[in-house]
Structures are given as C-alpha cells and as structure tokens.
C-alpha cells in the first residue's frame, strides 16, 4: 500500500469514527509532514462537496476557526485564503459528523476544544408597551394591527413595528409607546416620521406616536441603529443616560448599555452632534464619540465600522476584542449568565461568527485560541483562563 493509499484509508476510517488512539497519532504525524497535505486537502475537499448543504458550516465560522488554528490575531487576511478556508470548514465538519472527534496536537496550533451543549441564538421578539399600559408580546409570527394609537393604526409585520397615518400635526395629545427587547431578542420599528430603528438585545426605545412638536425626541437604553428621515424643521434627538445625540438626517449607531463603561455614538453617514453637561462635539462619518463621564467632554475615535455594525448585519465581529466585552455581547444575545472562574485576563481575540449560530460553535472558535476555555451548565457559561485540560 502506497503512502497516499494509507492516508486515504486513515481518512475514511476517521470519518467513520473508527480510528484507534495509536492510529489518530499516526494520522497527525503524517499530516505534520508537508508532502501529505496536498492529498489531505483533496480528500477533505471532496468530502465537503459530497455533503448536503445543511452540513456546511457558515463561511464566517470556518474563517474564525482557521484564524485561530493559524494563531492569527486578525481574521480578515484569512478570508482571502479561500482554499484553506474550505479545507478548515471540511475538517471541522468531518470532526462534528464523526461524533465530535477533535484533533489534539499537544505542541501544535490546534487546541483541544470540548464539546458543549447547544445554546440557541436570539430571535425577533420584543414587548410593545402602549400608552394605555397594554403590553403586547411581539415575534416574527405576529402579523397585522395590534392597537389603535391616536390617529392611526399600529401594525406589526416581519419583525417590525409600523405606525400608519400618524405623521403631521393632529388633534390628539401626543402619547408614548415603548419597544423593549429582552436578552435574546431583537426588533425593528418604523417611527411616525418613517425613520427606521433597529433595536439590539436587552434594549428599550421610548418614542411618541406622532411628532407634532418642533423636535423629534426618543429615549434609548441599550443599543440601536438609526436611519433618520431628513427634516430640517424638526431636528431628531436620541436621549441616553449620559449623552444626547442631535441629528437632521443620518445613519448612526448608539451603544448605551448600562453595563458598558461608556455611551458610544458611531456615525455612518450624515452629521450628528453629541452633547452632555460638559459641552458638545460634532463627528464625521467613520468617527465615534465616547462618553464615559457625563461631566467630561466626549472623546472622538475612528473605530472599526464592521465591528460596530456587525450586530445589525447579523454577525459577531471581534477584532482584538477583550474577552469580557465579548462575553457581555454573548450574554445578551444568548440570554445566559456568564461566570468567571479564577483570574481570566482580558486577552484580545479576533474572529467573525454569524449570530444565528448556537453558542457552542462560537465558544469552540474562541477556545481554539488556547487563551480561554468554557464550560456550560444549563444557561450558565463558566469562563476559565488557558486551554482546556
């Protein structure tokens, strides 16, 4: 039997989860030799193509895992390595289909990643509190009118709240609704002026059912992305606990979670003014205003826009992000409790994973860095430093 045939035999038995421990070691030793990698690539690439589409990992997940395997600090360059990206995806799929066998290279770059229980991702769900105190539970399945507010109907369709025929001055007193997303939820709302708001998990937006005054004002806790309909006669204000944002017509993101150290306003296009007790600043597209202390003037930085807006696009994007910041995002989206065991350094990690993935896949990708490892107990994620033992 030739070397190539022997490798193919080991591969086929690997897929069927029939390798003994000595044979696994033999396989790893063979793969450590560069001349065998071309054959291995052909084998896993062919296996990948033979699998149903439902067995394929998302490209983002594969890229993240490959970046970790290569000890990369940035996932973006890996995206250009198309061949290796697919090979990594196939290797991970093989491992999952084979019953969760993970390669264990003691002194190499692939970490030992424990299999963990599934934690399902969030979805379109929220609570709409009407002016009369009525609370309506919203989800993707709910369609149609849900109440009569002032001069028009409140309608829900496809994970979004609409306000119909409520523009302009009216004879009714202005009343307020509040859209609240739980942990593990997200929702959208089209305001009476046709401005569009995406609300992230564990967030709340209070707004009038008609903009009849000289300004348009809403109140935000948590995180939201705004696309504001231009109206120079009625400036738009977003009020948070530490800062206010004034706009005329623009697209921007506001992160104002109570458990974050600062309120961050990031401008995509247009112009916004961020103010607090210390004064105000105007930021340009691509800039971010940060307010950590309401008595100090906001600071201005140029953040990674992909990372800031990833949640709106349905992704997690981490670029040298601290593990504590990452776990706060996961806690909100997967509705879990995060507990740190021992001293866990706030190491920077990079990667991209779709928010529709279950938490296990994201945790596996993070664990591949050997910087942290995780244990799931029900709805609790325990975070520990170092590689899994």
pLDDT digits (tens, 9 = 90+) for 66-77: 444 443 333 333
Q: Where is average pLDDT lowest: 81-95, 141-155, 222-236, 257-271?
A: 81-95
Do the bridges between strand 216-227 and strand 236-239 make them parallel or antiparallel, or are there none, so unpaired? parallel
- Residue among 258, 254, 126, 147 nearest 189 (CA): 126
What pLDDT, on a 0 to 100 scale, did the predictor assign at position 368? 81
pLDDT of 50 reads 67
pLDDT of 223-252, one tens digit each? 999 999 999 899 999 999 999 999 978 999
Q: Which pLDDT belongs to residue 35?
A: 67
* Predicted confidence (pLDDT) per residue in 111-130, tens digit: 333 434 468 899 999 999 99
More confident residue, 339 or 50: 339
Phi, psi of 194 (to 5 degrees): 75, 10
State the Cα–Cα distance between residues 76 and 79, nearest whole angstrom: 5
The predicted model scores a pTM of 0.69
pLDDT at 189: 97
- Min mean pLDDT across 131-140, 279-288, 344-353 is at 344-353
Q: Is the pLDDT of residue 59 over 70?
A: no
pLDDT in tens, 278-294: 999 999 999 999 999 88
What's the pLDDT at 75? 38
Per the CB < 8 A criterion, the answer to whether 75 and 351 are in contact is yes
pLDDT at 115: 39
Q: What is the DSSP string of 325-377?
A: HHHHHHHHHHT-EEEE-S-----EEEEEEETTS-HHHHHHHHHTTSSEEEEEE
Mean residue pLDDT of the chain comes to 79
Across the range 40-61, mean pLDDT stands at 60
Residue 21: per-residue pLDDT: 64
pLDDT > 70 in the chain, percent? 73
How does residue 339 score in pLDDT terms, banded at 50, 70 and 90?
A: very high
For 156-199, write each residue's pLDDT tens digit: 988 999 987 544 445 567 789 999 999 999 999 999 999 999 99
Digit-coded pLDDT (tens) for 82-119: 343 344 444 443 433 333 323 333 223 333 334 344 68
List C-alpha distances in Å: 272 to 5, 200, 208, 243, 288: 65, 21, 21, 12, 10
pLDDT computed for residue 172 by the predictor = 60
Domain architecture of the chain: domains with CATH: 3-97 (no CATH), 123-307 (2.60.120.1440), 313-385 (3.55.50.30)
At 102 the pLDDT is 30
Nearest 5°: phi and psi at 146? -120, 0
Collapsing DSSP states into helix, strand and coil, what is residue 1? coil
52: confidence class by pLDDT, cuts 50, 70, 90: low
So what's the pLDDT on residue 69? 42
DSSP string, 232-272: TTS-EEEE-SS-EEEESS-EEEEEE-TTSSSEEEEEEES-E
């Amino acid at each position: 039997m030739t070397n190539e045939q022997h490798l193919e035999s080991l591969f086929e038995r690997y897929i069927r989860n029939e390798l003994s421990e000595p044979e696994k070691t033999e396989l790893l030793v063979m793969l450590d030799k560069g001349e065998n990698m071309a054959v291995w690539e052909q084998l896993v690439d062919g296996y990948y193509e033979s699998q149903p589409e439902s067995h394929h990992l998302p490209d983002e997940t594969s890229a993240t895992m490959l970046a970790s395997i290569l000890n990369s600090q940035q996932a973006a360059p890996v995206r250009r390595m198309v061949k290796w990206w697919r090979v990594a995806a196939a290797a991970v799929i093989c491992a999952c289909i084979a019953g969760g066998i993970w390669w264990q290279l003691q002194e190499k770059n692939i970490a030992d990643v424990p299999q963990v229980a599934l934690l399902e991702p969030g979805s379109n769900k929220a609570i709409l509190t009407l002016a009369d105190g009525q609370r309506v539970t919203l989800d993707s399945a709910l369609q149609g009118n849900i109440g009569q507010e002032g001069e028009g109907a409140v309608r829900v369709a496809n994970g979004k709240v609409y306000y119909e025929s409520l523009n302009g001055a009216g004879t009714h007193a202005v009343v307020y609704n509040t859209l609240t997303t739980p942990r593990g939820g997200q929702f959208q709302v089209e305001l009476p002026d046709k401005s569009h708001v995406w609300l992230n998990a564990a967030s709340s937006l209070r707004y009038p059912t008609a903009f009849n005054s000289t300004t348009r004002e809403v109140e935000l806790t948590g995180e939201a992305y705004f696309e504001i309909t231009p109206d120079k006669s009625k400036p738009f204000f977003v009020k948070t606990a530490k800062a206010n944002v004034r706009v005329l017509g623009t697209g921007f993101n506001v992160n104002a979670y109570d458990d974050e150290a600062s309120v961050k306003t990031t401008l995509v296009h247009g112009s916004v003014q961020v103010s607090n007790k210390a004064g105000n600043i105007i930021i340009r597209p691509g800039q971010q205003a940060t307010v950590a202390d309401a008595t100090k003037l906001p600071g201005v930085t140029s953040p990674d826009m992909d990372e800031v807006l990833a949640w709106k696009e349905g992704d997690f994007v981490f670029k040298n992000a601290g593990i504590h910041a990452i776990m706060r995002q996961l806690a909100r989206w997967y509705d879990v409790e995060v507990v740190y065991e021992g001293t866990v350094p706030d190491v920077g990690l990079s990667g991209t994973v779709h928010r529709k993935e279950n938490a296990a896949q994201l945790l596996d990708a993070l664990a591949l860095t050997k910087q942290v490892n995780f244990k799931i107990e029900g709805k609790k994620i325990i975070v520990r430093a170092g590689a899994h033992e």
